[in-house]
Amino acid sequence: MVILGLNAYHGDSSACLVIDGKLVAAAEEERFRRIKHWAGFPTEAIKYCLAEAGIGLADVAHVAINQDSRANLWKKIGYTLAKRPDIGLVMDRIRNKRERANAGEELARSLDARFTGEVHEVEHHLAHLASAFYVSPFGDAVVVSVDGFGDFASTAWGVGHGSGIRVEDKVYFPHSLGIFYQAMTQYLGFPHYGDEYKVMGLAPYGEPKYLDRMRRIVQLQDDGSFRLDLDYFRHHREKIDYEWENGEPRVGVLFTDALGELLGPARAGGEALTQYHRDIARSVQAMYEEAFFHLLNTLHERHGLDSLALAGGCAMNSVANGKIYRNTPFSKVYIQSAAGDAGGAIGAAFSVWHKLGGKRDFVMDHAYWGPQFDAGTIRDLLLANSERLAEQGCRSEFITDENSLCIRTAQAIAEGKVVGWFQGRMEWGPRALGNRSILGDPRRADMKDILNLKIKRRESFRPFAPSILRESVPDWFETDDDVPFMMQVYQIREGQRHLIPAVTHVDGSGRLQTVSRVSNARYYRLIEAFGELTGIPALLNTSFNENEPVVCRPDEALDCFLRTRMDVLVLGEWMVIRC
């Protein structure tokens, strides 16, 4: 049985392919279109998935899309009758639903092929819950989805058992932790879609001095849920500018003047960050965590299950995720690598698989589901670009022995060089996890500045992450957990922080990626080789890009290398060195 899963007409549009209950391929459209968070119909991602499996559209029996225009219908009708929102808001939502209802036609048209299969609409949050639970190692778990909005809800929770998920309750429009965090991100002067991670990075530089004011905005409820004081928001009563079609998503201002009266004037673009802004960021993060843990603790007390499967855009809040064990009784957590809306493609596909009677026998224990390229393709690329390489004083070398390749790369990193590392299948989700990565020496206190000067050019308050050998985790971090997808931030042991300053944030934390030999043998060997040279079984790992989506193809990696000041590029078995 072939199931094509889609997240379409929304930010981070994506596609995946599930065959007989096993994931075969998955990718976000942005990697092919080269526009961050690309929104629309994921034509290129679909083409990749079909090509990876060696099949055509005619072989697809089922298409699963992570939205259902019929979901929560009575809630929508009741809200519209009671609140009478701006007619523009209502008409926008009707148009959006009408577009999404034609997924089958769009699929056939965009691929210029006949589609005779069945289209299944899967409610947005059910798809999120499924994206975490059905690919987790858990037989039973509390399941939670937290994000902005989807199908008129912002949060859903319940219990997963075997091949079924029972949704217990939801938080409905207009109340949303995702909208709260996004509005506060805008207030702090970060206007772009997906900028919330900047607030997370800024928060440790401040103190939660304004938490009491945040509690006026977000109000916790006895059943574990929350409500917003809607006086501070615009999204529920007037049309907000949303641009989702075939490009980078753009969202209009979500907060009202009342927020300025509560907290003072919003930070304008380009305005210097002050301690006040840092304290606001910390207060926002503290409020999110308070609401998040309030829900989780309520659910643990209610169900008594120790495993948690977490999804939704807010599940990308790696700082909060890393505090789950400390602040709740849960002892096991699973968050897949594309926890946000892109991951809804997987959730929709697996929901349909189980709806049709399929069995559970797949666990997503790695994130390498994207395109890969052979040595011949890379050789031809380097030959075609020999003049460009020579002009920049670069030489290339083919290294057949993997051990030698890893040792030489580790030596370059230990010498302070910045290395582009392009290997195997591209990662699924927003994190570079050792196949499309830029690597550096975590021992160098100046490595963050070097990376920002040479390549990344991003805000100085944003940390870089460590990749560490799985068996070394308890010696370096205050945890001994599997964190293969870089979805949790943990404290680095105090006695070790001075040894890896480049990946130690101001609060002593690091956004952890654990690397096992089974999941990524070559990356494991590279880190191991660096450890043998330096005594440090970890590398600084950041995404292979320069203010663009993470590179997908070898030519994009080479272009990024040549237009920046990267020192070494390792493309498969080829090493390109800037002399």
The pLDDT score that the predictor gives to residue 70 is 83
pLDDT beyond 90 at 85: no
Q: How confident is the model at residue 208 (pLDDT cuts 50, 70, 90)?
A: very high
The pLDDT score that the predictor gives to residue 103 is 81
Q: How confident is the model at residue 241 (pLDDT cuts 50, 70, 90)?
A: confident
Q: How confident is the model at residue 458 (pLDDT cuts 50, 70, 90)?
A: confident
The pLDDT score that the predictor gives to residue 328 is 98
What is the arithmetic mean of pLDDT over 490-512?
98
What is the arithmetic mean of pLDDT over 126-141?
98
Q: Which residues of 6-16 are buried (b: 16+ CB within 10 A; e: fewer)?
A: bbbbbbbbbbb
**Would you say domain 2-134+340-355 falls under CATH 1.20.210.10?**
no
The pLDDT score that the predictor gives to residue 460 is 86
The pLDDT score that the predictor gives to residue 75 is 76
Name the more confident of 85 and 405. Answer: 405
Strand pairing of 509-515 and 465-469?
A: parallel
Determine which of 4-13, 96-105, 268-277 has the lowest per-residue pLDDT on average: 96-105
pTM for the model? 0.95
The pLDDT score that the predictor gives to residue 73 is 73
Q: Which residue, among 133, 127, 107, 129, has the nearest Cα to 47 in the 3D structure?
A: 107
The pLDDT score that the predictor gives to residue 101 is 52
Q: How far apart are CA 11 and CA 476, in angstroms?
A: 36
pLDDT digits 0-9 by tens, 273-330: 999 999 999 999 999 999 999 999 999 999 999 999 999 999 999 999 999 999 999 9
List CB contacts of 397: < 8 A, sequence separation 6 or more.
574, 575, 577
pLDDT digits 0-9 by tens, 108-118: 898 999 899 99
Q: Which residue, among 10, 5, 6, has the nearest Cα to 248 in the 3D structure?
A: 10
What is the arithmetic mean of pLDDT over 194-216?
97
In the chain, which segments carry CATH 3.30.420.40? 2-134+340-355, 171-334
**CA of 360: how far to CAs of 119, 122, 133, 364, in Å?**
22, 19, 10, 12
The pLDDT score that the predictor gives to residue 92 is 54
The pLDDT score that the predictor gives to residue 453 is 86
Of the chain, the percentage scoring pLDDT greater than 90 comes to 87
Q: How confident is the model at residue 551 (pLDDT cuts 50, 70, 90)?
A: very high
pLDDT digits 0-9 by tens, 370-393: 999 999 999 999 999 999 999 999
Domain 171-334 class, CATH top level: alpha beta
Name the more confident of 80 and 491. Answer: 491
pLDDT beyond 60 at 209: yes
pLDDT beyond 80 at 79: no
In the chain, which segments carry CATH 3.90.870.20? 375-578
The pLDDT score that the predictor gives to residue 86 is 62
Of the chain, the percentage scoring pLDDT greater than 70 comes to 96
The pLDDT score that the predictor gives to residue 77 is 77
Which two structure tokens, joined as six digits, stand for 350? 């697996």
pLDDT beyond 60 at 90: no
Q: Find the angle CA(277)-CA(279)-CA(282) to the nearest 5 degrees.
A: 110
The pLDDT score that the predictor gives to residue 188 is 98
The pLDDT score that the predictor gives to residue 238 is 86
pLDDT digits 0-9 by tens, 459-472: 889 999 999 999 99
List CB contacts of 567: < 8 A, sequence separation 6 or more.
412, 417, 418, 419, 577, 578
**CA of 404: how far to CAs of 145, 317, 400, 408, 411, in Å?**
45, 38, 8, 6, 10
What is the arithmetic mean of pLDDT over 190-201?
95
Q: Which residue, among 294, 309, 411, has the nearest Cα to 350 in the 3D structure?
A: 309
Mean pLDDT of the residues in the chain: 94
What architecture is the 375-578 domain classified under in CATH? Alpha-Beta Complex (3.90)
